[in-house]
Amino acid sequence: MSENVKPKWYVGIAALLITLVFFIFAAVPLQIRFGMWGLAFTQLGILIIALIPAFLFKWKLSDVMPIKKVTAKQLLATLLFLVAAFIAANTVSAATSYLFPESAAEGAYIADFLATAPFIVSLIIISVITGICEEVLHRGVIQYTFKNIKSELAILVIMAAIFGVFHLSPFRFLPTAVLGFVMSYLMIKTGNFLIPVLYHAVHNAVGFVLSYGADASQVVAVPAESVGVFLILSALSPFLFYFGVKLLNTERKPNKKMKYAAIALTLILPALGIGILALSTAQPGTYVTNFSMTHDVNNETPPNVFGNIIIEDEGTYNLFVSINDETHTVTTGVRVEHEDGEIVWDTGAGAEFIANNHIDLRAGVYSVTFTYESQSEQMIPVEITFSISR
């Protein structure tokens, strides 16, 4: 690097802001028109934006993105962090989905978007290309401009916030901030740019494989019970993080405070999860309507309409729908409609479907309509449970 041009924090912030402008005015139209191929073009744009300050200020790329031999301890620590952060980020995502059911619409859009290219093409774009290009920007250029900040924790918090903002979604801010924090920590402790790139690529690949091909109509808000289960599972994360830190800090004595914090979180998180499970199952609420049925369906079955669902007080209600067709040949649609014609909930549910959503209802009389699409002339049993409660 030139002795006269040293990295400054505002250069990294400027690179982020330019990237966000690029997202809004170029990347979004590209992705709307070309799907996953548009995402590939977006990542190449990110790479170019990231490299501009490096060449402009004559920084050595080996300083910005140092590449070293990856050790066995680094790989093991990365694996521990990967599992721990994957659980933690999904726990935060589950809580966000429960608190903000409208975030399910974003999840449905992502599920559709991932299917706009063949599986292998999408996998390469979402893991390899995204992992490299985004890390050049974040753990490369932006984190490099913060190298003169003395507080390691301050760098990690700033980098986490930047990675959260980078994804341009209030619902994804916290989960992605968790990942940004972990990848920046790995970069600081290993000094090896390959580690966060590997982490990013594997994390994206796992998430992609688990979600690819999902029916967008079945991406729904997470119920409280699922949040409780995620919190119980998240008890693994503190100790996985702790042992990962120990592997990367072999020159130091074990941090007792960190150990005690890991123990405390391991006890608190499952206790909180069990409490949520107990509360969500102990008091089901006051039902406005609640019914279960098994309906025989074929290609001539007309819609079922259940009317006279009376909502006396305006407010937020819990809507629960469960549909099961063991043959997977019937698509069941569900529509909730106010007496004045306003449709407040409408979905093509598919063969297997569970939704537990918060919906705002006005006072009045509602009806729920079930529609069926089947190619079979023979009757197929479809199990349906439906309720609205407060």
pLDDT digits (tens, 9 = 90+) for 230-255: 999 999 999 999 999 999 986 666 57
Whole-model pTM: value is: 0.79
Average pLDDT for residues 148-177, to the nearest whole number? 96
CA distance 123 to 73: 27
- Cα separation of 9 and 149, whole Å? 9
Nearest to 323 by CA among 294, 353, 346: 353
Residue-wise pLDDT tens digits, 342-388: 999 888 766 567 777 788 899 999 999 999 999 999 999 999 989 99
d(CA 60, CA 66): 9
Say if residues 185 and 102 touch (Cβ distance below 8 Å): no
| Cα 174 to Cα 21, 38, 132, 358, distances in angstroms | 21, 25, 22, 21
| Spacing of C-alpha 8 from chain mean position | 32
What are the C-alpha distances in Å from 251 to residues 12, 89, 192, 241, 258? Answer: 31, 29, 17, 17, 16
Determine the pLDDT at residue 388.
92
Position 349 scores a pLDDT of 62
In terms of Cα–Cα distance, which of 316, 296, 317, 306 is closest to 381? 296
**179: its two tokens:** 């990942």
What does the pLDDT read at residue 2?
A: 43
In tens, the pLDDT along 108-131 reads 778 888 889 999 999 999 999 999
Residue of higher predicted confidence among 19 and 320: 19
Q: How far apart are CA 242 and CA 258, in angstroms?
A: 7
What's the token pair of residue 214?
């999902």
DSSP structural state of residue 137 = I
CB burial of 49-68 (b: ≥16 within 10 Å; e: otherwise) equals bbbebbeebebebeebbbee
* HSE (side-chain half, CA atoms, 13 Å) at 58: 5
Phi then psi for residue 345, to 5 deg, are -160, 130
Model confidence at 101: pLDDT above 90 = no
> Distance between CA atoms of 115 and 247, rounded to whole angstroms?
38
Look up residue 185 and give its two tokens.
């920590």
- Are 329 and 198 contacting, i.e. CB atoms less than 8 angstroms apart? no
Task: Write down all domains in the chain, each with its CATH number in brackets.
Answer: 9-222 (no CATH), 287-389 (2.60.120.660)
> How far is the C-alpha of 137 from the C-alpha of 23, rounded, in Å?
14
**What does DSSP assign to residue 216?**
G
User: Where residue 4 falls among pLDDT bands split at 50, 70, 90?
Assistant: low
CA-to-CA dists, residue 294 to 3, 301, 324, angstroms: 76, 13, 9
d(C-alpha 163, C-alpha 161), whole Å: 5
Strands (E), the chain: 287-297, 304-311, 315-324, 331-338, 343-350, 352-361, 364-373, 380-389
